[in-house]
Amino acid sequence: MTDTNTYDLIVLGGGMSGLPVALKSAHHGLETALVERDLLGGTCLNRGCIPTKTMIRSAEVAHLARRADEFGVTIDGEIGTDMEAVVERQQRVVESIREGAYSNVEDADELDLIEGRGVFESATELAAGDRTLTADRIVLNTGARPVEPPIDGLDEVDTLDSTSALEASDVPEHLAVVGGGYVGCEFAQMYARFGADVTVFQRGDRLLPAEDPDVSDVIEDAFEVEGIDVQTGTAVEALESTSSGVRATSGDADGIEVSHVLVAAGRRANTTVSASKTLAWRSTTGVSSRSTISSGPRPTRSMRSGTSPARRCSRTRPATTPTFCTVTSSTAKRSTPPSGSFPTRCSPIRRSAASVSLNGKQKSRDTTWRSVGATTPNRGNRKRWVKPKGS
């Protein structure tokens, strides 16, 4: 028999976004449940920002040591890297921060930490272990995981990803990095400074395609100075195990043989949506309906049930003039921006004279929005909506 608990707020995922949301909500008196299936701190603390930057600092020290003579410093002997010691230091740093996170959660009177995987039973019910949690507001902070690109032989060879690369016991002799985004570039330079030969394969025509071209140029120049081989416009199509490592091939080329392969081809959300799961959602007209959630494209309307009005707009830009959510104290209405306008994203939600309750105190807000910019539908000259100063 399951135990049902009702909360003011449920936070699914104890990462570096969900954790402060849960702590702050509990601090303000909201009965809050924090559901986490792994360790508090999520990717950032355990498998991302903190451990990588800690190891990057070790790599920087090794890099500066090799350049000691440029600064008039003499170091006798070869500069080497003890990867076990590097990883041990990284884990000490992570553990000290993680202990603080658990201590903060334990000290929060209004916060319950529930360890387990969260599964939606309805729009307001979440199953976690042998408990069923209920709340009108549920915050999703499920994080992301590495993407496995469609490469022939990927499942048949041993590869590294952004998690396992933080646990290496030795410096690779020759590391091939598949992907030239921020994750791939970070690990490429780090392992090059530890002493590995590194080759970066980037499908696009430049590294860091999400950044300005000038940034890509600077990084590529820096990699060239540090001896990192960058192959842009080159997609790894197949991986094959050899007697001495792994052969990575692209197109008609013979490919190269390396000792290790690090796959850094992006990340995807840690969500699994059942094709048969049907949840209630409240439309912008305030009428409840039914919608089947599938694993296909994101629904174009926010899905929410209960007596409260819809509080979110779709972030998907429709083909026609977009519809905006206007939230009042009792109803949710549809409103359309002035004729000819075409915002680049969903208008901010407008709450007009809405009454908000927090810790038993009623607060009234009267927020309005104004439009800025030209009202032409041209692609490069769209209208946007901002909150006026002083509101």
Using CA atoms, how far apart are residues 338 and 354, in angstroms rounded to an integer?
A: 24
pLDDT band at 52 (very low <50, low <70, confident <90, very high): very high
Model confidence pLDDT, tens digit, residues 309-322: 333 333 333 333 33
- The full set of domain ranges for the chain reads 3-142, 154-269, 273-391
Q: State the DSSP string of 73-99.
A: ----S-----HHHHHHHHHHHHHHHHH
Identify the residue whose tokens are 């969500």: 271
* 213-225 vs 182-194: helix crossing angle, rounded to 10: 20
- CATH assignment of 154-269? 3.50.50.60
**If we measure between CA atoms, which residue out of 346, 308, 301 comes closest to residue 329?**
308
Residue 352 clears pLDDT 70, i.e. is over it: no
As a whole number of angstroms, the distance between CA 349 and CA 325 comes to 6
Q: Are 130 and 2 in contact (CB under 8 A)?
A: yes
Q: What are phi and psi of 15, to 5 degrees?
A: -80, -165
What gap in Å lies between CA 257 and CA 174, rounded to an integer? 8
Q: Which residue has the higher pLDDT, 274 or 152?
A: 152
d(CA 222, CA 39) in angstroms, rounded, equals 36
CA dist 359 and 210 (Å) reads: 43
Asked whether the predicted pLDDT for residue 324 surpasses 60, the reply is no
User: Do 3-142 and 154-269 share a fold?
Assistant: yes
Read off the amino acid at residue 280.
A
State what percent of residues in the chain have pLDDT above 70. Answer: 68
From residue 263, give the alpha-carbon distance in Å to each of 65, 87, 147, 176: 29, 20, 8, 8
Q: Which residues contact 93 (CB under 8 A, 6 or more apart)?
A: 50, 51, 54
**Which pLDDT tens digit goes with each residue over 227-246?**
999 999 999 999 999 999 99
Once rounded to an integer, what is the mean pLDDT over residues 29-55? 97
CATH topology of domain 3-142: FAD/NAD(P)-binding domain (3.50.50)
